Amino acid sequence: MSRLKAVLFDIDDTLFSTTQFARIARWNAVKAMVKAGLDLPEEEVLRELEEVIAEFTSNYDSHFDQLLRRLRPKSLDRINPALVVAAGVVAYHDTKFKELEPFGDVFPLLRALRQTQVQMGVITHGLTIKQAEKLIRLGVLPFFDPRGIFISEQIGISKPNPKLYALALRDLGLAPNEAMYIGDNPTHDIAPPQSIGMTAVWARRASRHSIEGTGIEPDHIVDDFEQLRDILRTRYELDV
């Protein structure tokens, strides 16, 4: 086994629970919209919002506008719908300030890795500014090599295309067997890097994806980053 020279991370549901954050943020947005004059039960609005997100994807910019178009509440005859949408947007973004934080064992791992000679970076799928914002709000950006942030939209290659991983290795001057990747989605984060010779770790604690029936076999499976630190110490002889 070649000496491990880089540890690269996914962001969503790997460094923090995207699912839990989204649930809280959407609920806060719905409550704010109802308070602003959307005269409908909160549970009904939330169900419709979840449907809008499922249909238009989470990267769509106008969820709340579409929500009002679908609901067509009579209350909008009396108030400006822009104010209702703005209330939802503000509440959602306020939640980012209060609730967006990494798992508790992320900083200890990153601090320990920083004391080694191992490079640290990110390979993430999503919109450029949205993913970059997460790194900044989570407070993890200072730990990563400035040359080691690879965002699918910015690169022009989307997961699960293994070319995204190959490009990252090429830019960092790494051979595939010198790099480890940690992610939550077996089909996006395990199979593609393995296909080019990288070591892939499935971080399953917040994963929404089952590995059953996929035929994918991660090199390692961890439920938290303490387990990952143990693997890095015992299998890769890193002083973490």
Residue 141 carries which DSSP code?
G
Instruction: Report whether 38 contacts 5 (CB < 8 A).
Output: no
This prediction has a pTM of 0.90
Distance, CA of 180 to CA of 198 (rounded, Å): 6
For 122-148, the pLDDT digits (tens) are 999 999 999 999 999 999 999 999 999
Distances (CA, A) of 209 to 158, 189, 205, 227, 235: 18, 11, 10, 20, 26
Residues constituting the chain: 240
Instruction: Report whether 125 contacts 152 (CB < 8 A).
Output: yes
Looking at the domain covering 19-99, what would its CATH class be?
A: mainly alpha
> Which tokens belong to 156?
């022009």
pLDDT for residue 2 is more than 70: no
Distance, CA of 105 to CA of 27 (rounded, Å): 27
Q: Does domain 6-16+102-234 have CATH number 1.20.1530.20?
A: no
Residue 3 carries which DSSP code?
P
Q: How many CB atoms lie within 10 A of CB 116?
A: 16
For 12-65, the pLDDT digits (tens) are 999 999 989 999 999 999 999 999 999 999 999 999 999 999 999 888 889 999
Residue 61 carries which DSSP code?
S
pLDDT for residue 196 is more than 70: yes
pLDDT for residue 77 is more than 90: no
Residue intervals in the chain for CATH 1.10.150.520: 19-99
For 182-194, the pLDDT digits (tens) are 999 999 999 999 9
Distance, CA of 158 to CA of 40 (rounded, Å): 39
Instruction: Report whether 202 contacts 184 (CB < 8 A).
Output: yes
| pLDDT value, residue 226 | 97
Distance, CA of 162 to CA of 194 (rounded, Å): 9
Residue intervals in the chain for CATH 3.40.50.1000: 6-16+102-234
Q: CA 87 from chain center: how many Å?
A: 25
Rg, the chain, Cα only: 20
Place of tokens 């499922």: 54
Closest among 228, 235, 11 to 112, alpha carbons compared:
228
Distance, CA of 155 to CA of 125 (rounded, Å): 10
Distance, CA of 132 to CA of 205 (rounded, Å): 23
Instruction: Report whether 17 contacts 138 (CB < 8 A).
Output: no
Mean local confidence (pLDDT), 70-83: 90
